Chains A and B, each alone.
Chain A
Amino acid sequence: MTTYLIRRILYAIPILIGVNLITFALFFFVNSPDDMARLALGGKRVTEEAVEKWKRDKGYDKPHFFNVREQGHARFTNTIFFTKSASMFVFDFGVSDDGRDIGTEIRTRMWPSLAIALPTFSIGLAFYITFALILAFFRATYVDVSGVVACVVAMSISSLFYIIGGQYLISKLWHLVPISGFDYGVDALKFLVLPVAIGIVSSIGANTRWYRTIFIEEIGKDYVRTARAKGLSEARILFRHVLHNAMIPILTGVVVIIPSLFLGSLIMESFFSIPGLGSYTIEAINNQDYAVVRAMVFLGSVLYIIGLSLTDVGYTLVDPRVRLS
């Protein structure tokens, strides 16, 4: 297990370097810092001095990879790549345009994100699997057929409409919960109910259908026939035999996103004014705050890679073939 984890970490390094290079290229090669400065300062009639000042303030007044004016290792360290990109490996994200430390911001903002994303994820998963099991139990009856049709219709509706519709009905028409906002502690609950509920409902169609397909595929396998030949009840076959085997493909798609829950959901958080990482990202995009976007991209891939490793750990939990060999 330890060797395995070490290998995972070693494997992650080239990927993170790749991610870093991609973002670096995207942010500094497609457009030169001069271009960005001009745009940020507005229009074309910007003086050279203003551009230089902007670059200096942001730390963009350096060569990309190699600084000929410096001595020793500073030739490499006093560059845009080192100060802006390589520093992210030690989770030093620098400061945003409004002068705040991005690292601190991330640490405070990830909790509201998690408060929305975690319940949405876990309650949602339970819901989808239950619905899918029900459909699989009634497979090839009208319950199943109408369920699948409902799923297809549900997944054909943009998530934006779920949010708009939910806010309109629950908050505006019925005044059950506040339309948006956030608070810490127990008070958070009344702000969380609606986004979590909408989050779950909006992806019910696609997920239920997907899990149902997995279950139906498992039900067709030989060992299910063996279980029937033993005289086991349909419910026991479904829960004891099918569910356990179906967990293997389900895990593949599910576990990998768990770490990314920290990032929150862009749309949810911005619609409901939740001060999480999702709305942070959206604000950064709208304000064209490149430092924040870069930080989030890097953080996102780190979490994804952690997710990949967790998936493998998850396999060892549900699949004895992986655990024991």
Chain B
Amino acid sequence: MPFKPVILWTDALLFLLLAAAVGLWLHMRSRPHLLQPWRNLVQSRQAMGSMVFLAFFMAVGLLDSMHFRLRISPADATQESRYRVQTLSALDVLVGPLRTQTEKTYSAPLATHLFAKETIEAAGDGRTRAYPRLTYGGAHLSDPATEWLPDVLRLIAAGLGLGAILWNALALLVTGVLARHTGREFGQTWRAIWQHREPLPWRTILISAGFIVLLLAPMALLATRYHVLGTDKVGQDVFYLTLKSIRTGLLIATLATLVMLPLATALGIMAGYFGGWVDDAIQYIYTTLNSIPGVLLIAASVLMIQVYMATHPELFDTIEQRQDLRLLFLCLILGVTSWTGLCRLLRGEALKLREQEYVQAAHAFGVSHSRVIRRHILPNVMHIIVIAVVMDFSVLVLAEAVLSYVGVGVDPTMTSFGNMINAARLEMAREPMVWWSLASAFFFMLVMVLSANLFADALRDAFDPRISVASRGKA
């Protein structure tokens, strides 16, 4: 094999989560009442529009989670295969040059020269202080002063053209599949999509996809010749860093939830359902945990993990593994500090459900507690769990940035939005300002969190029982 797959802890958990999601969907497929709120959800323009953006982020995150080590080409065939120490991800391979083409230090977006003056050996009159040319960015231009603008414009135009072609292909594909599926004519389907007469909001989906394609295609073309979003202090491409940050944010947002979910669900339902001393004990646990200010508890835990990891270097072989372990611990800690809210919600709901007549009826049959919880309580609090998970997503992405700033976030060597902002902030005082790392992190984070928030909103509307009660309502 030319490569050896490496499954980091967080990768494994992410794939597990994915498998769980698929499993859940298969389970629900035959249960129309479970599917109903989802059906409302996919018919909401807001949900599907934001979902397209989230899907883009998830795709990047998943690609970046497929890790492997390349084989060092052996000297002779008999030799045992050896692999490089460096762990790469599918994303790294995909964007190849972005990763390897590092400059010396800062350079502005699309620049051809470094951001800092250096002493250069000039051909004629000895040394001058000037902005040296970049090694990779715009290296193909012989005279940047005149060729730069036409070249960039040409690439953008080509990118837009490519984007338009891709997008049209996508739109035609969707229409074609849809037309075959419903047995209508192609033109008819096309009009139905654009007049928003389809049950699914295809128009919104296509427009959102259009945004992404038309933005990414020019960027991709430009990235082959330039550093689209500039380079950072050590000359790394900011666009590459931004893409890498997506996985970190995504993992924190999903894995922390994964950690807290079983804990919050089990304890919350038990507290509400059994009451009595079980309730007292669980309430004591969560009041105690809740009483410690979240940031401080996280800080204290992370500090201790730091010490632990520093004194136990045998736990990991590579930098990636160290980063990964710390990320995992951070998710664990975030999970432990954030389960109390959901736990309290579920406790309240279980307390109400316990008194419901259908639960009483089950007791009248002598149905066991575990069965009552499984069949009567859990399905009826599911919507709360789903809403909480999605609502937490954006909160956690934002929390990562703050924690990294405080110094208790992910490993300082790991690429994340928080570390990017943190690094850029240190250069705030510089004149003129180094704004591009900050701007990239700002833009990508905003799009990610905003889509997550909009999606969460739409999801809450689709799942909130209060609204469905109102629609049942009385005339």
Contact = CB atoms under 8 A, between A and B. Distances in A.
Contact of A300 (B292, B310, B457): B292
B300 interface: yes
A105 to B, nearest CB: 16
Contacts of B402: 158-160, 267
B394 interface: yes
B299 to A, nearest CB: 5
Contact of B406 (A26, A167, A282, A304): A282
B287 interface: yes
A301 B292 contact: yes
Given A19-B291, A285-B303, A300-B292, A164 B428 contact: yes
A86 interface: no
A286 interface: yes
A4 interface: no
Contacts of A270: 406
A38 B405 contact: no
B295 interface: yes
A159 B428 CA distance: 16
Interface string A36-79: 10110000000000000000000000000000000000000000
B304 interface: yes
Contact of A297 (B296, B449, B452): B296
Interface string B339-375: 0000000000000000000000000000000000000
Interface string B444-457: 01100110111001
A254 B413 CA distance: 38
B303 A160 contact: no
A288 B290 CA distance: 23
Contact of B288 (A19, A160, A266): A19
Interface in A21-45: 22-23, 26-27, 30-31, 35-36, 38-39
A235 interface: no
Contact of A156 (B284, B295, B446): B446
A304 B453 CA distance: 29
Contacts of B394: 155-156
Given A15-B287, A267-B406, A158 B299 contact: no
Interface centre among A152, A167, A286, A305 (most CB of B within 10 A): A152
Contacts of A167: 428
A92 to B, nearest CB: 19
A131 B211 CA distance: 33
Contacts of B417: 158
Interface in B206-231: none
Contact of B408 (A157, A158, A285): A285
B297 A297 contact: yes
B308 A31 contact: yes
Nearest to A32: B311
B25 to A, nearest CB: 27
Nearest to A167: B428
B102 interface: no
A104 to B, nearest CB: 20
Given A160-B405, A282-B406, A282-B407, A35 B299 contact: no
Interface residues of B, number: 46
B398 interface: yes
A19 B299 contact: no
Contact of A161 (B311, B442, B450): B442
Interface in A1-29: 14-15, 18-19, 22-23, 26-27
A160 B419 CA distance: 12
Interface string A144-163: 00000000110111111100
B425 interface: yes
A297 B297 CA distance: 7
A286 B407 contact: yes
A288 B214 CA distance: 47
B407 A152 contact: no
A293 B296 contact: yes
Interface in B75-117: none
Q: Secondary structure at chain A's binding surface: helix, strand, loop or mixed?
A: helix
Contacts of B401: 158, 160
Nearest to A294: B300
Contacts of A89: none
Contact of B457 (A36, A152, A267, A304): A152
B292 A31 contact: no
Interface in B274-313: 284-285, 287-293, 295-297, 299-301, 303-308, 310-311
A15 B308 contact: no
B300 A23 contact: yes
B269 interface: no
B330 interface: no
Contacts of A36: 307
Given A267-B406, A282-B406, A297 B308 contact: no
Interface in B110-134: none
A260 interface: yes
A157 B401 CA distance: 11
A290 interface: yes
B421 interface: yes
A23 to B, nearest CB: 7
Given A167-B428, A267-B406, A297-B292, A27 B300 contact: yes
Interface in A283-311: 285-286, 288, 290, 293-294, 296-297, 300-301, 304-305, 308
Given A18-B288, A301-B291, A304-B290, A30 B299 contact: no
A35 B442 contact: no
B438 A297 contact: no
A223 interface: no
A87 B408 CA distance: 27
Contact of B453 (A22, A156, A308): A156
A304 B405 CA distance: 24
A281 interface: yes
A246 interface: no
A160 B398 CA distance: 9
Contacts of B296: 281, 293, 296-297, 300
Contacts of B457: 152
A168 interface: yes
Nearest to A298: B292
A285 B428 contact: no
A301 B287 CA distance: 10
B307 A39 contact: yes
Interface of A: 14-15, 18-19, 22-23, 26-27, 30-31, 35-36, 38-39, 152-153, 155-161, 164, 167-168, 260, 263, 266-267, 270, 281-282, 285-286, 288, 290, 293-294, 296-297, 300-301, 304-305, 308
Which 9 A-B residue pairs are closest in the complex by CB-CB distance? Answer: A18-B288, A301-B291, A300-B293, A156-B450, A156-B449, A304-B291, A35-B311, A30-B304, A31-B307
Given A30-B308, A304-B292, 4 more contacts: A35-B307, A159-B398, A168-B428, A300-B292
7 contacts: A152-B453, A156-B394, A158-B401, A288-B303, A288-B306, A293-B303, A300-B296
